[in-house]
């Protein structure tokens, strides 16, 4: 072997050693603090590990799929499931639509101070959800809240936003959309800017109106972004927790804002039905997985 060859071999071995060493801290952390708990979660979901077991593990019983059976028979679980889907299927598209609208506004050619508007629209995204939920809890107050005052100016009656089972979830959705429309907007703006203005010029010369330009030019250009934004938003929205926790003390009127994660938190960390809570978490995982695959499949089908 030539000297260069020997160097190359020892170099690649050195590189390999370094590579493994560099990823070791991350992998160790992920293994210990994520992989092991996830596996344990699967195991716990098959037991009735609860607060008695926390004190005395010998009282644990193996229940196989029993937790899932209980889950399917619990009307509160179905309510939580329904609420979460309500939030995702209404809030998700609404959030994406508002973000797209804002992106189109901000990106329009005639706009001055683009940066300023972008900053303003993005500000709610970085703020702490708890603080925002606290503020909106008071904005929604039936008597003194700002929202009902504005409605009164328009001559509309006061709405018991967080106390009425019909309005509680829409109230949460409105707040969630307000909070993160800026995030998706930024991504859309980047996508819009990747379309050169000359293409629009050509289309206008060809006689295409603004709506046709939008449908034929803008939307296709934004397709990859829409998929990304859609999946990210959906996954995030399925994990709804902080808003119901702060704004409606957990479940809301008639559990109208009880989400799956909130249900898991109550069962697991409030009542310490750990086995049952683990089962709920697995159901959440399954839902997110299926939802993601469905979205990706839909997008692939359209192409």
Partner 1 sequence: MAAGDRPTHRLATPSIGCRWGALAAGALAGALLAACGDEAARKTKLQFWALGREGEVVQKLIPAFEAANPGVHVEVQQIPWTAAHEKLLTAFAGRSTPDLAQLGNTWIPELVALGALEPLGGRLAKSRVNPRDFFPGIWATNEIDGEPYGVPWYVDTRVLFYRSDLLARAGVKRPPRSWEEWRNGMRSVKALPGGEHYAILLPTDEWAQPVVLALQAGADLLRDGGRHADFKEARFRTAFEFYVSLFAERLAPPLGNAQVANLYQQFADGYFAMVITGPWNLGEFRRRLPADRQGDWAVAPLPAVTETDYPGVSLAGGSSLVVFGASPHKDAAFRLVEFLTDARQQARFYTLTGDLPARAAAWDDPALAGDPKLQAFRTQLEHVRPMPKVPEWERIATAIAEAAERVILGNQTEDRSLDQLQIEVDRMLDKRRFLLDRKSGGGGR
Partner 2 sequence: MRRWPALVGLHLALGIVAVATLLPFLWMLSASLMPAGEASQWPPSFLPSRPTLENYRALFHRLDLGRCFLNSAFVAIVSTALALLIVSLAGYAFAKLHFPGRSRIYRALLTAMVIPAQVAMLPLFLLLREVGLVNTYWGVIIPALAPVFGIFMVRQYALSLPDELLDAARVDGAGEFTIYRKLVLPLLRPILVTFGVFSFIGAWNDFMWPLIVLTDDRKYTLPVALANLIGEHAQDIELMMAGSVLTVLPVLLLFLVLQRTYVEGLTMGGVKE
Q: Is 228 in the site for partner 2 (CB under 8 A)?
A: yes
Choose the contact partner of 108 out of partner 2, partner 1, none; CB within 5 to 8 A by kind. partner 2
Instruction: Give yes or no for a contact between 295 and 120, defined as CB atoms under 8 angstroms apart.
Output: no
Q: Is 68 in the site for partner 2 (CB under 8 A)?
A: no
Instruction: Give yes or no for a contact between 118 and 124, defined as CB atoms under 8 angstroms apart.
Output: no
Residues 173-202 that bind partner 2 (CB under 8 A): 178, 182-183, 186-187, 189-191, 194
Considering only 64-72, 73-81, 108-116, 154-162, which stretch makes contact with partner 2 by CB under 8 A? 108-116
Choose the contact partner of 27 out of partner 2, partner 1, none; CB within 5 to 8 A by kind. partner 2
Q: How many residues bind partner 1 (CB under 8 A)?
A: 29
Count of CB atoms situated within 10 Å of the CB of 38: 12
- From candidates 230, 244, 251, 277, binder to partner 2 by CB under 8 A: 277
Minimum Å gap between C-beta 104 and partner 2 is 10
d(CA 38, CA 45): 11
Minimum Å gap between C-beta 143 and partner 2 is 7
d(CA 256, CA 170): 10
Q: Is 51 in the site for partner 2 (CB under 8 A)?
A: no
Q: Is 56 in the site for partner 1 (CB under 8 A)?
A: yes
Q: Is 117 in the site for partner 1 (CB under 8 A)?
A: no
Residues 269-298 that bind partner 1 (CB under 8 A): 269-272
Query: How many helices and strands in the chain, by DSSP H and E?
Result: 16, 0
Let me know if 221 is exposed, middle or buried by CB neighbors in 10 A (0-12, 13-18, 19+): middle
Instruction: Give yes or no for a contact between 45 and 37, defined as CB atoms under 8 angstroms apart.
Output: no
d(CA 169, CA 87): 7
- From candidates 162, 175, 279, 288, binder to partner 1 by CB under 8 A: 162
């Amino acid at each position: 072997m030539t000297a260069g060859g020997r160097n190359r071999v020892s170099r690649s071995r050195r590189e390999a050693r370094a590579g493994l060493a560099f990823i070791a801290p991350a992998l160790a952390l992920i293994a210990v603090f994520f992989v092991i708990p996830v596996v344990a979660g699967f195991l716990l979901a098959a037991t009735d590990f609860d607060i008695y077991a926390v004190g005395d593990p010998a009282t644990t019983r193996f229940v196989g799929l029993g937790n899932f059976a209980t889950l399917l028979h619990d009307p509160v679980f179905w309510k939580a499931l329904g609420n979460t889907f309500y939030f995702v299927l209404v809030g998700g598209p609404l959030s994406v639509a508002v973000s797209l609208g804002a992106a189109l506004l901000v990106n329009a050619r005639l706009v001055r101070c683009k940066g300023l508007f972008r900053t303003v629209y993005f500000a709610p995204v970085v703020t702490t959800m708890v603080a925002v939920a606290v503020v909106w809890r008071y904005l929604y107050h039936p008597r003194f809240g700002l929202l009902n005052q504005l409605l009164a100016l328009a001559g509309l009656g006061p709405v018991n936003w967080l106390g009425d089972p019909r309005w509680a979830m829409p109230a949460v959705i409105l707040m969630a959309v307000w909070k993160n429309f800026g995030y998706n907007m930024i991504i859309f703006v980047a996508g819009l800017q990747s379309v050169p203005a000359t293409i629009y010029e050509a289309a206008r010369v060809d006689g295409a109106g603004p709506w046709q330009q939008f449908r034929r030019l803008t939307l296709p250009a934004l397709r990859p972004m829409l998929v990304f934004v859609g999946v990210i938003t959906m996954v995030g929205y399925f994990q709804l927790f902080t808003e119901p926790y702060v704004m409606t003390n957990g479940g809301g009127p008639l559990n109208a804002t009880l989400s799956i994660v909130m249900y898991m938190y109550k069962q697991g960390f409030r009542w310490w039905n750990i086995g049952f809570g683990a089962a709920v978490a697995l159901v959440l995982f399954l839902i997110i997985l299926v939802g993601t695959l469905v979205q990706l499949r839909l997008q692939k089908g359209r192409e």
